[in-house]
Structure 1
Amino acid sequence: MANPIVQGARAAGGHLLEMKDVHVSYGKTAALHGVSLTVQPGEVVALIGANGAGKSTTLRTISGLLRPTRGEILFDGRGIGGMPADRVVALGIAQSPEERHVWPAMSVYENLSLGAYLCKSAAEIEQRIAKVYARFPRLKERHRQLAGTLSGGEQQMLAIGRALMSEPRLLLLDEPSLGLSPRMAEEVFDFVREIHAHGVTVLLVEQNVHNALSVASRAYVFETGRVVAERDAAGLLQDPELLSAYLGA
């Protein structure tokens, strides 16, 4: 049977997500200056660049937390620029935010349940929690534990699992390795690979260039709110002058 997600994206010209000349401001301060990018169904695409380059702002604009001042954002051919965040989630986009932002005084189970607020029935919520536990067995072991008592890596798993509770077609990951040890960061990226292997399209913001390019097929390089380069991941790793110019890598 043909994949309906892929079929829909093909009908829209092959893109699951497309940004066209998107501008965003924080008050009078411009944050994005004409960002254009695409994500195909089944890809992992990385946004890389120095701090303050506009990567997280791009994700927040896609997810409906920020409203573009100009430009167009299309998801499966449908305009979503400026759409409220809850409607964006309902269409199939979920974000795991920077610094995780789990609810520390709630259990792992309660945090996951809150990620399924669009579900119609308790049975459906339980089914989705079971899927998350299958992907993250450590969360199942700690399902009654308060989220605030988890390690940083476990909180990151919980944040990703909570985003997966809406069963997104596109998962936005913002700095998933932030504040983690190298060993735990590698474990989190193993989970990203597994999620991708199960058919979830991922748009990833990550400060660690090598971590990002180890899972991505393509990457966009950002500088001061602009896309300054696009490369396939392997090609970018082999371009030390570009990495040094824009990332200090």
Structure 2
Amino acid sequence: MSNLLELNDLHVSYGKTAALHGVSMTVRAGEVVALIGANGAGKSTTLRAISGLLRPTRGDIVFDGRPIGGMEAHRIVGLGIAQSPEERHVWPAMSVYENLTLGAYLCRQKAEVDKRVGVVYHRFPRLKERHRQLAGTLSGGEQQMLAIGRALMSEPRLLLLDEPSLGLSPRMAEEVFEFVREINQHGVTVLLVEQNVHNALSVASRAYVFETGRVVAERDAAGLLEDPGLLSAYLGG
């Protein structure tokens, strides 16, 4: 498989505070890759830099052979990258349908937008049942489905998922990760940030371990699960 995404010596800062210190990694087309590490290790910052929400101070981000570091976020969406953010950030006073259509804001044809909504409803039947319901009245799990569905509305080749199981019951988290498997089986490459290491490694083929803004290890997912010493050293248990 060819590399769909490459990060080379990526540095990112929040003001004068450095958050990433030379992160390098690859994601091959068709993979699910997990970023794991303690809170504040730089995982979400990495996703935000890829999606254009943060501008790198140094280094390269290359998507499908094209440099995108520092590119405006809406242009990155147009190239085929979409992000489902941490804590979901749905618009609570808008309906499920309205939230989904906002995910296709680059598409100007209503027939095409409605076609994409139908694809999302097929993958998430619960959203179809609640298509007129205000997003703020949905359960946490339903809001997570909506956030992922909204990201899929741009028909991305690479989906960035930031903490998809945050605040969910174990049963609902399992359901969300089953959706991740299904999405990947339909050809979408996934880069996943997830605090629950076992959930992350259950769907990923490879994982990068982050510590204080650096990649300290890269392993296949099965190998990481069999290395409790490494997990304990960098994740605290």
Structure 1 length-normalised TM: 0.95
Q: 2:42 matched to which residue of 1?
A: 54
* Residues 84-123 of structure 1: pairs in structure 2 closer than 5 A: 84-123=72-111
Question: Partners of 1:178 and 1:25 in 2: how far apart?
Answer: 25
Among candidates 64, 69, 72, match of residue 52 of structure 2: 64
Question: Partners of 2:232 and 2:114 in 1: how far apart?
Answer: 47
Question: Partners of 1:160 and 1:134 in 2: how far apart?
Answer: 13
Q: Are positions 1:34 and 2:22 aligned together?
A: yes
Q: 1:189 matched to which residue of 2?
A: 177
Among candidates 213, 220, 229, match of residue 232 of structure 1: 220
Cα distance per residue 1:159-193 (max 9 Å; x no partner):
00000000000000000000001111001001001
Which residue identity lines up with residue 98 of structure 1 in the other structure?
Answer: E
Which residue identity lines up with residue 96 of structure 2 in the other structure?
Answer: V
Among candidates 137, 150, 156, match of residue 149 of structure 1: 137
Size of the alignment, in residue pairs? 237
Which residue identity lines up with residue 50 of structure 2 in the other structure?
Answer: I
Among candidates 65, 68, 74, match of residue 80 of structure 1: 68
Structure 2 length-normalised TM: 0.99
1:220 is paired with a residue of what secondary structure?
strand
Cα distance per residue 1:22-46 (max 9 Å; x no partner):
0000000000000000000000000
Q: Are positions 1:244 and 2:214 aligned together?
A: no
Using the TM superposition, give the Cα deviation of residue 229 of structure 1 relative to its aligned residue in structure 2, in angstroms.
0.1
Q: Are positions 1:18 and 2:2 aligned together?
A: no
Which residue identity lines up with residue 108 of structure 1 in the other structure?
Answer: V
Which residue identity lines up with residue 63 of structure 1 in the other structure?
Answer: S
Name the Cα RMSD after superposition.
0.6
Which residue identity lines up with residue 192 of structure 2 in the other structure?
Answer: L
Using the TM superposition, give the Cα deviation of residue 108 of structure 1 relative to its aligned residue in structure 2, in angstroms.
0.1
Identity %: 86
Cα distance per residue 1:43-76 (max 9 Å; x no partner):
0000000000000000000000000000000000
Question: Partners of 1:203 and 1:131 in 2: how far apart?
Answer: 21
Q: 2:168 matched to which residue of 1?
A: 180
1:16 is paired with a residue of what secondary structure?
strand
Which residue identity lines up with residue 212 of structure 2 in the other structure?
Answer: T
Which residue identity lines up with residue 84 of structure 1 in the other structure?
Answer: E
1:67 is paired with a residue of what secondary structure?
coil
Gaps of 5+ in 2: none
Question: Partners of 1:58 and 1:152 in 2: how far apart?
Answer: 25
Using the TM superposition, give the Cα deviation of residue 120 of structure 1 relative to its aligned residue in structure 2, in angstroms.
2.3
Among candidates 116, 128, 136, match of residue 116 of structure 2: 128
Gaps of 5+ in 1: 1-9
1:126 is paired with a residue of what secondary structure?
helix
1:171 is paired with a residue of what secondary structure?
strand
Question: Partners of 2:227 and 2:89 in 1: how far apart?
Answer: 35
2:6 is paired with a residue of what secondary structure?
strand
* Residues 189-208 of structure 1: pairs in structure 2 closer than 5 A: 189-208=177-196
Using the TM superposition, give the Cα deviation of residue 248 of structure 1 relative to its aligned residue in structure 2, in angstroms.
1.5
Question: Partners of 1:187 and 1:247 in 2: how far apart?
Answer: 24
Once superposed, which parts of structure 1, at least 4 consecutive aligned residues long, lie more than 6 Å away? none
Question: Partners of 1:142 and 1:120 in 2: how far apart?
Answer: 24
2:56 is paired with a residue of what secondary structure?
coil
Question: Partners of 1:49 and 1:235 in 2: how far apart?
Answer: 16
